Amino acid sequence: MTSDTALPPAPGAQAPAPATETQRRWARQHSIGALWETWGITAVLVVLLAASPLLSSDFLTVANLQSVLRESAYLGIVAAAMTLAVMNGTFDLSVGGQLALVSVTTLMGYAAGGTGLAVLVAVITGVACGAVNGALVTAMRVPPFVATLGMLFVFRGIAYVLTQDGPKTLPYSEIGSPFVKIGGLNVAGIPLPFLIMVAFYGAIWVLLRRTATGRRVLAFGSSPEAARFCGISVHRIRMLIFVVIGLSVGIAALTYISRVWTADGSAQDGFELRVIAAVVLGGTSLKGGKGTLIGTFSAVLLVGVLNDLLVSRGVDASYQRVVLGCVLITALAIDGLRTRFAAPGSFAHMLPRRRREAPAR
């Protein structure tokens, strides 16, 4: 402060302010709280992985790790797109129905015209589902929660109608087909579904962090009012988000169905809730405007690893649910308590401020 005396009083008084503001912002971004927000769940994943040999001797084998990655991929792919939606302050409850429907149509496509047609059908069905959701939300102005809840019934119902004569399955004779390789192939020891998932996260990251559209997604999520005053068209963004979710389900269904080989209307019941749980576990706030893709990525793997560990420990499937539910509540409770204590007027908020003022006095 004293070094600024040469400057005129008015700018001199203001000049240090931006500097300290930048410093403060840097400090805020690199505080333990902020780091925890971005990397917390990743840290938990690393700790869990480090502790895994103690929990299960068979966990850290190549085959087992490959299977965890392969199993996690379809959930992860949809979770990436769902992260966009949740950041935008909305969500899509219909993904479970979409996955069932796309899986069924994909198998029908494969039966009709082989791998190429199957992939095409998967992507088209997924995008079409997303477009229907998007149209309902934007053109018909139905609140996303109910629109997608209704479409969950509809998509699942269509899948049921298509499989009335029994579930669609891939015949065993197709084991050598390229379609099965989508789910089963390993590239340099890494399962192809996981590579697809990583590529999808890369694409979503670019969309979110390197394009104006991504900015708008976040901007609307953090303040719908402000975004509207800035002239951001919510409709276009929401449409895009729902189509991206549909596309993600199309891709996810390919990695899922080429591994599971069979689907009917009841496939993946409750999938939507698992996806949203993974997104929220990853630190994305349901209020919108805040979240990270790496959080979702790690949360998906965390759930996968945890599931695998529980299975290998011989824990009953019913207790697995209890454990996963408790993990979700704990993660959210930590987050909730932290934001509560950081709120204006709370004790914890007073503490750092006093510390900051201390050197000045």
Partner 1 sequence: MTTAAPERGARATAPRARLNRAIESAPLALPLALIAVVLTVATDRFLSVDNLTNVVVAAGIVAIPGLAMTLCIAMGEFDLSVGSTVSLTGAVTCTWIVGGHPAAVAMLVGLLVGAAVGLLNGLVVTKLGVTPFIATLATLVIVRGVSLAYTGGRDAIVSSSTLKFLAAGRVFGVPMPVVLTAVTALAAWWVVNRTRFGRWVCAIGSNREAARMSGLPVDRVRTTVYVIVGVAGGIWGLLISSQLQKGSGQLGLGFELDAITIVVIGGTSLLGGRASVVGTLLGAVLIETIRNGLNLLNTPPAYQRISIGLLLVVALTIQALRRNAPAEALDDV
Binding site for partner 1 (CB under 8 A): 89-91, 136, 140-147, 149-154, 156-158, 160-161, 164, 224, 228, 234, 238, 265, 269, 273, 276-277, 280, 286-287, 316-322, 324-326, 328-329, 332-333, 336-337, 339-340
- Classified as helix, coil or strand, 232 is coil
Shortest Å, Cβ 319 to partner 1: 6
Task: Give the containing element (helix H, strand E) for 262.
Answer: strand 262-263
- Residue among 299, 308, 353 at smallest CA distance from 327: 299
Residue 195 CA, distance from chain mean position = 16
- C-alpha R_g of the chain: 24
Q: Which is nearer to partner 1, 81 or 192 (CB)?
A: 81
Terminal CA-CA length for the chain: 14
Q: Which is nearer to partner 1, 193 or 304 (CB)?
A: 304
Q: Which is nearer to partner 1, 134 or 183 (CB)?
A: 134
- Distances from the Cα of 328 to the Cαs of 120, 233, 282, 284, 322, in angstroms? 36, 34, 10, 13, 10
The answer to whether residues 342 and 33 touch, using CB atoms and an 8 Å cutoff, is yes
Shortest Å, Cβ 329 to partner 1: 5
- Distances from the Cα of 52 to the Cαs of 57, 86, 282, 297, 298, in angstroms? 8, 31, 20, 19, 16
The answer to whether residues 195 and 182 touch, using CB atoms and an 8 Å cutoff, is no
Q: Which is nearer to partner 1, 159 or 196 (CB)?
A: 159
Q: Which is nearer to partner 1, 148 or 248 (CB)?
A: 148
Q: Which is nearer to partner 1, 57 or 330 (CB)?
A: 330
Shortest Å, Cβ 269 to partner 1: 7
- Residue among 278, 346, 313, 352 at smallest CA distance from 32: 352
Q: Which is nearer to partner 1, 336 or 352 (CB)?
A: 336
Q: Which is nearer to partner 1, 136 or 247 (CB)?
A: 136
Q: Which is nearer to partner 1, 12 or 143 (CB)?
A: 143
- Distances from the Cα of 84 to the Cαs of 178, 240, 248, 287, in angstroms? 31, 10, 12, 12
Shortest Å, Cβ 70 to partner 1: 23
Shortest Å, Cβ 191 to partner 1: 27
Residue with tokens 């095409």: 120
Shortest Å, Cβ 128 to partner 1: 16
Long-range contacts of residues 22-25, Cβ cutoff 8 Å, at least 24 apart:
none
Shortest Å, Cβ 136 to partner 1: 6
Shortest Å, Cβ 130 to partner 1: 15
In degrees, rounded to 5, the angle at the alpha carbon of residue 191 between the alpha carbons of residues 187 and 196 is 90
Shortest Å, Cβ 322 to partner 1: 4
Residue 247 CA, distance from chain mean position = 14
Q: Which is nearer to partner 1, 69 or 249 (CB)?
A: 249
The answer to whether residues 83 and 92 touch, using CB atoms and an 8 Å cutoff, is no
Shortest Å, Cβ 296 to partner 1: 14
Write out the E strands in 210-261: none
